[in-house]
Amino acid sequence: DKEMQYPWSEEVCQVLSNVFRLPGFRKNQLEAINATLSGKDVFVLMPTGGGKSLCYQLPALVFGGKTKGTTIVISPLISLMQDQVAHLIEKGIRAGMINSRGDLDDRKSMFRLLNSGDLSLLYISPEMLNTSGQLKSSISRLHSNGQLARIVIDEAHCVSSWGHDFRPDYKELKMFKQQYPDVPMIALTATANDRVQLDVMHNLELKNPAVFKQSFNRPNLFYEVREKSKDVLPEIRDLLTVKYPGKSGIIYCHSKMSCEQTASKLQQFGLRVTHYHAGMTPDERMDVQTKWQEGSLQAICATIAFGMGIDKANVRFVVHYTLPRNLEGYYQETGRAGRDGLYSECILYYAYRDASTMMTMIDRDECDFQTKEKQRSFLKQVVQYCENKTDCRRLQVLRYFNETFDSAECHKSCDNCRSSNSTDYEDRDVTEVAKNIIRVVRQLQNENVTMLYCMDVFRGAKTAKIQNANHDGIEGYGAGKGLDRIDIERIFHHLVTVDALKEMSSVNKAGFASSYLKTGGQASAFLSGLKNLTMQFPKKGTR
Ligand code: ADP
Ligand code: ZN
């Protein structure tokens, strides 16, 4: 078992579930954790939202039988630092920060904690390191006491003058490897081309680092959304008998009851299928899992409880009998197909009535209001995904992970790309529309506005909020009047995927996370006419 090969493996799993309360690792997390715990220097490239923090927060709590120690995290943005530290403290983790803000007393007590060696994680801003002699000597003392566990460089692209966000203070970070060559370093970033990566590794003087980088794209998976008819089971039977005879797969259902019913109906068709869910005994589940893994069962009707920790390489199809709860889940569940790299298919059966049922289930659930709101908005994203019949599926899913994706790279490996030559859709040049949108965002971006708000301004909505802020007077207000709302949304989303706009999330004073819309690195290329935007739209009369 790959996950159990290190002395700290058991502890790593315990911390994951007991402290972070997460069900499993995402791609490259465990690999990066094992590498740093082995004492290696590590470079991690992961899309935003991919889960970089866990790669260093978890190891900070694992001691592998050795002395405890403090992990120093260099982070450039004080607001993100505060956010992270607050989350860690909430989880009962001893974390703190030292930055240029904060009053003298706070700082004093933080130094006391640091010097006592009792902090698991200390966040510092790079300029502190360069200006505070006290900080330098505290770190040095930790090191001589054998309590400097590791150094983390977050947003590591700031080290490189080739990057988009070079910060001179980051240059000085090379002193860590120079002064403490034995202390492992992790550098993490979401944005690095090869040149930036080399520059980062060179400037930080990483020693023969383990490199983990990834796109979230899974090129061997075909994605498709099908309309779910009232009587869809014969269609699923045909999938199993005609399309995938002798091949293994998973059919995801949304409840235990639905798993059992679906499985028993498919059995009546003579198929080797059974159910799997958390309501079964461990023995029953093990039995099903073994039979499926050997191939004596063709498919399993399962809840999302199935799949975690299961490593079957030749899963050829993943069918969603009901739509998933969120796109993240969809990505993880479909990700169980084709681990051997061979062509595999992911088919989602979508009916709006299923979405309404799930909405009602959320309403009835006993969790708090904020959680419900979150679940509702996740589900809405799934609905948008299902109803979108034009944009590349990969582009849509990867956008969720903030990964930019060029749909040409899909190579027609999704339903929407495959039918893109179909007669229902036509290319339209929307460069002027895009420019107007970018102008609107450029004028509003310093006022922390959401994408929804920018859409409203662009559409020329007459809300009190817009009028009170005098945003009905800005250039581009109402420029999108003649467009369908759904098209406006698609164009906004598209502009984010091509980096003309970007969403930045932050936590406000009340502790709520929001994301604000800003212009992105490619905005001026569009405004100056260097870049054009052509997108597909349904032909007139087909919507
Ligand atoms: P990044 O720093 O790469 O942008 P974060 O570390 O902030 O990403 O993680 C993004 C989100 O993903 C967080 O909400 C985090 O809780 C969640 N996350 C991280 N790792 C996992 C995991 N293994 N399983 C589920 N959610 C995860
Ligand atoms: Zn595609």
Ligand 1 pocket: which of 12, 16, 22 to mutate (most atoms within 8 A of CB): 22
- Indicate which ligand has the atom closest to the C-alpha of 411: 2
CA dihedral 265, 266, 268, 272 (to 10 degrees): -140
Ligand nearest to the CA of 152: 1
Q: CB under 8 Å to 305, separation ≥6 — which residues? A: 276, 277, 278
- Per-residue CA distances from 155 to 83, 108, 113, 258 (Å): 15, 27, 26, 44
Quick one: which ligand is closest to 21's CA?
1
Rounded CA separation 293/278 (Å): 18
Q: Which of 25, 31, 54 to mutate to test the pocket of ligand 1 (most atoms within 8 A of CB)?
A: 54
Compute the distance from residue 29 Cα to the ligand 1 centre, in Å: 10
Q: Of 53, 119, 127, which Cα lies nearest the Cα of 83?
A: 53
Ligand 1 pocket check: which of 53, 214, 378, 400 to mutate, most ligand atoms within 8 Å of Cβ?
53
Q: What is the SS3 assignment for 215?
A: coil
User: Which pLDDT score, from 0 to 100, does residue 1 have?
Assistant: 45
Cβ atoms of residues 456 and 466 within 8 Å: yes
Distances (CA, A) of 286 to 1, 79, 372, 484: 16, 46, 33, 51
pTM value > 0.90: no
Atom of ligand 1 at shortest distance to CA of 190? 3
Please list all protein residues whose beta carbon sits less than 5 angstroms from ligand 2, which is an ion: 392, 410, 414, 417
**pLDDT tens, per residue, the chain with 543 residues:** 455 689 999 999 999 999 999 988 988 999 999 999 999 999 998 866 678 999 999 999 998 756 679 999 999 888 788 889 999 999 999 999 998 777 788 888 899 999 988 899 999 999 888 888 899 999 999 999 999 999 999 999 899 877 667 888 898 999 999 999 999 999 998 766 677 888 999 999 999 999 998 777 889 999 999 989 989 999 999 999 999 999 999 999 999 999 999 999 999 999 999 999 989 988 998 899 899 999 999 999 999 877 655 668 899 999 999 999 988 789 878 988 987 888 999 999 998 778 878 877 887 888 888 888 888 888 878 988 988 888 899 999 988 766 778 888 899 999 999 986 555 777 789 999 999 999 999 999 999 998 889 999 999 999 999 999 999 999 999 999 999 987 898 788 778 767 798 877 565 566 555 678 999 989 999 999 999 998 878 777 655
Question: How much distance in Å is there from the Cα of 50 to the middle of ligand 1?
Answer: 6
Token match 């250039």: residue?
A: 475
Distance 379 CA to ligand 2 centre (A): 21
CA distances from 193 to 11, 157, 165 (A): 34, 9, 13
Q: Which ligand has the shortest distance to the CA of 395?
A: 2
Rounded to the nearest whole angstrom, what is the distance from the C-alpha of residue 163 to the centroid of ligand 2? 29
- Write down the pLDDT at residue 490: 78
SS (H, E, C) 281-307: CHHHHHHHHHHHHHCCCCEEEECCCCC
Going from the Cα of 353 to the center of ligand 1, the distance in angstroms, rounded, reads 31
Neighbours of 308 (CB within 10 A): 10
Least distant ligand from the CA of 16: 1
CA torsion angle 485 489 492 493 (round to 10): -170
**The pLDDT of residue 163:** 66
Residues at CB less than 6 angstroms from ligand 1? 22, 24-26, 29, 46, 48-54
Give the integer Cα–Cα distance in Å for 129 and 318: 50
Token pair 């069900």 in the structure block, residue: 23
DSSP 153: E
With CA atoms as reference, report the closest residue to 91 among 50, 116, 120, 51: 120
Q: Residue count of the chain, please give it.
A: 543
Contact 75, 84 (CB under 8 A): yes
Whole-number Å distance, alpha carbon 499 to ligand 2 midpoint, is 19
**If you take atom 10 of ligand 1, which residue's CA is the nearest one?**
49
- Closest atom of ligand 1 to CA, residue 154: 2
Distances (CA, A) of 399 to 80, 311, 392, 444, 502: 21, 27, 11, 23, 11
Distance CA 177, CA 361 (A): 53
Cα-to-centroid distance, 406 and ligand 2 (Å): 9
Closest-CA residue, ligand 1 atom 23, reads 25
Residues ≥6 apart with Cβ < 8 Å to 151:
71, 72, 74, 176, 180, 183, 184, 185, 186
Name the residue at shortest CA distance from atom 26 of ligand 1.
Answer: 22
Closest ligand to C-alpha of residue 219 is 2
The alpha carbon of 535 and the centre of ligand 2 are apart by a number of angstroms equal to 14
- Ligand 1 atom nearest residue 55's Cα: 6
Please state the atom number of ligand 1 nearest to the C-alpha of residue 50.
3
- CB count within 10 Å of CB 276 equals 27
CA-nearest residue, atom 2 of ligand 1: 52
Cα atoms in the 13 Å half-sphere on the side-chain side of 72? 28
Q: Which two tokens stand for residue 450?
A: 């959401």
Expressed in angstroms and rounded, the spacing between residue 202 Cα and the centre of ligand 1 is: 27
Q: Which residues does residue 211 pair with via DSSP β-bridges, in sequence order?
A: 43
